[in-house]
Chain A
């Protein structure tokens, strides 16, 4: 039964949709446009909500701010350090879990635990691991004759420490996704490849990698997006500072400082817009790559 829409019926439909629409408009749509608009407020009276002047001054300012350059650089190093290693490691572990049946559900749980644990708790534990004198990390490195490293206080190592922790934290989720992907590959392709004379390594290269590509794509895209937004790890690990000497300052941390410590809303919004554009570009690039190499 298809009725012709009337004013009355349309109104009724919108009434039903209203609760969801209001929530979405208030908390999703409005902030997006508001923050975009805010990035162009060059002269803004916060208390009276009066904008005296619009312009691109905020963008000019942050791009001239050496701290923003550091934040951009650190974020890129962080993302490029975490995402590839995390994918490679989680694929390796997923393959092992898939092949070794003994205790595999036990290990699956172990690897998934970091995902359901709060970042703050994880950061606190890693604070201990990274302790210069009593930490497990330096103890472990000591076995190889490496001198204790000041993970949390040396600007040279702070970002590396952050990267290692984030890789570990992200493993669980990626492993679960890869395990699902591996399970979706029909065993008969492997049988056929064996018959065709492919050894285990060639089966991995020619069957597993291409047939796993949809999963790899998903893991890569979400990995890039999530890691570009890194903030809470930094905040918790360095007790509310962006690492020694701004060595772990990231774009979101920069944004946070502008907003809450400097009350410079325009520049904070501008930094957010820049991050948004970066993530958008990276994702579009990946989609283009996806069309070429990912097989469904």
Chain B
């Protein structure tokens, strides 16, 4: 089912947390809502679920308006951050609970719950209580319960945040597998960019209650629509330079003539910065202040009169204090205007 927000605004007391949200989440897709904490991503999810209601605007599921319907009527599936499994019911009873509420006959209920237990690979533990399960198993049960009534929309609120690093990677692949097997429209809230970029069809970046960009994960990284998205995504973070900064040799960057007078800032990802021996071609020259090696990755931090740059794409061994000349390919440079909007956006197809 398609989810459509039309001019949604949401206040908590006198604080507006969402402002004029407009978006469409296409049917059968897995969409992540990504943003820093407090950006309104969980609120957006709650609005879709019907557990809270917008102050203004309309919500549609396909063509049908559901703004006024509460969670009991909307019939979406939801996986909570803490899973919220009913502690007094066994795994099987937890999965059957939504079916019991839908008054499905007992025998059918059990068959369906067993089917789901198999789908999420928890069938060996169906008679245990939630307390007896590990975090990953609890999450599987939560997903099975959310899917039990065959919802058209599955919502997940930071479902991986309670798991350890390795399990998180395993479970996010599981979520992708289950989503593809069931083909349910899935909306996944996270603050972890790696999670969002790795499993989603589309990513919606939110900040301070505004949508920053909705696009495919790779485009989000390569063609951010504004400075916020560019800086939020990527680790280590993107290097940004003010074009008027005297420490940067702007002429070496070859800014296209058509936008030259608009460009206020340029951004270059650490992996796109390379070393040059020809100091005339360098846009930046600095001293190595820090060399960090983690496994196969090396990141080098340079400094020139307080302007720091991080690069991850320079081979060789460097000593602290050594001077390096840096350059970058024109096609890898992002340009932003005074308002922080990306220039040359025609390249970005939505």
The chain A residues found within 8 Å of chain B, CB to CB, are 186, 188-189, 191-199, 202, 206-207, 210-211, 213, 295
The answer to whether the Cβ of B84 comes within 8 Å of any Cβ in the partner chain is yes
> A198 and B72: CB pair below 8 A?
yes
The answer to whether the Cβ of B35 comes within 8 Å of any Cβ in the partner chain is no
B residues 75-91 touching A (CB-CB < 8 Å): 75-78, 80, 82, 84-88
> B98 and A197: CB pair below 8 A?
yes
Q: Which residue of A lies closest to B74 (CB)?
A: A195
Q: How long is the Cα–Cα vector from A202 to B87 in the complex, in angstroms?
A: 16
Shortest CB-to-CB span from B61 to chain A, Å, is 15
> A192 and B78: CB pair below 8 A?
yes
> A195 and B76: CB pair below 8 A?
yes
> B101 and A191: CB pair below 8 A?
no
C-beta contact mask, B135-162 vs A, less than 8 Å → 1, else 0? 0000000000110010000000000000
Shortest CB-to-CB span from B145 to chain A, Å, is 7
The answer to whether the Cβ of B70 comes within 8 Å of any Cβ in the partner chain is yes
The answer to whether the Cβ of B240 comes within 8 Å of any Cβ in the partner chain is no
Set of chain B residues within 8 Å of A191, measured between Cβ atoms: 51, 71, 80, 84
> B88 and A196: CB pair below 8 A?
no
> A197 and B87: CB pair below 8 A?
no
Q: How long is the Cα–Cα vector from A81 to B32 in the complex, in angstroms?
A: 58
Counting chain A CB atoms within 10 Å of each CB, the highest count among B49, B76, B86 belongs to B86
> B49 and A195: CB pair below 8 A?
yes
Set of chain B residues within 8 Å of A186, measured between Cβ atoms: 82, 84
The answer to whether the Cβ of B97 comes within 8 Å of any Cβ in the partner chain is yes
> B84 and A192: CB pair below 8 A?
yes
**Tally of contacts, chain A with chain B, CB under 8 A:** 58
> B80 and A188: CB pair below 8 A?
yes
> A199 and B86: CB pair below 8 A?
no
Contact A192 B72, CB 8 Å, known A211-B88, A295-B87:
no
Q: How long is the Cα–Cα vector from A25 to B88 in the complex, in angstroms?
A: 43
Contact partner of A295 (CB less than 8 A), chosen from B71, B77, B88, B102, is B88
> B84 and A197: CB pair below 8 A?
no
Closest 8 CB pairs of A and B: A295-B88, A196-B98, A188-B84, A192-B84, A194-B71, A197-B101, A210-B88, A195-B78
Shortest CB-to-CB span from B28 to chain A, Å, is 21
Q: Which residue of A lies closest to B142 (CB)?
A: A192
Contact A197 B86, CB 8 Å, known A188-B80, A191-B51, A191-B71:
no
> B84 and A194: CB pair below 8 A?
no
Shortest CB-to-CB span from A115 to chain B, Å, is 30
B residues 99-154 touching A (CB-CB < 8 Å): 101-102, 145-146, 149
Contact A189 B101, CB 8 Å, known A195-B51, A195-B77:
no
- A/B interface sample: 19 pairs, CB < 8 A: A186-B82, A188-B84, A191-B80, A192-B78, A192-B80, A192-B145, A193-B86, A193-B101, A194-B50, A194-B70, A195-B98, A195-B146, A196-B98, A196-B145, A197-B75, A197-B149, A199-B72, A211-B87, A295-B88
Q: How long is the Cα–Cα vector from A280 to B119 in the complex, in angstroms?
A: 50
Set of chain B residues within 8 Å of A194, measured between Cβ atoms: 50-51, 70-72
Q: Which residue of A lies closest to B52 (CB)?
A: A191
Q: How long is the Cα–Cα vector from A216 to B82 in the complex, in angstroms?
A: 26
Q: How long is the Cα–Cα vector from A150 to B76 in the complex, in angstroms?
A: 60
Shortest CB-to-CB span from A258 to chain B, Å, is 47
Set of chain A residues within 8 Å of B86, measured between Cβ atoms: 189, 192-193, 206-207
Set of chain A residues within 8 Å of B77, measured between Cβ atoms: 195
Set of chain A residues within 8 Å of B51, measured between Cβ atoms: 191, 194-195
Q: How long is the Cα–Cα vector from A248 to B76 in the complex, in angstroms?
A: 58
Q: How long is the Cα–Cα vector from A193 to B88 in the complex, in angstroms?
A: 13
Counting chain B CB atoms within 10 Å of each CB, the highest count among A189, A194, A202, A206 belongs to A194
Set of chain B residues within 8 Å of A197, measured between Cβ atoms: 72, 75, 98, 101-102, 149
Q: How long is the Cα–Cα vector from A213 to B145 in the complex, in angstroms?
A: 24
Set of chain A residues within 8 Å of B88, measured between Cβ atoms: 210-211, 213, 295
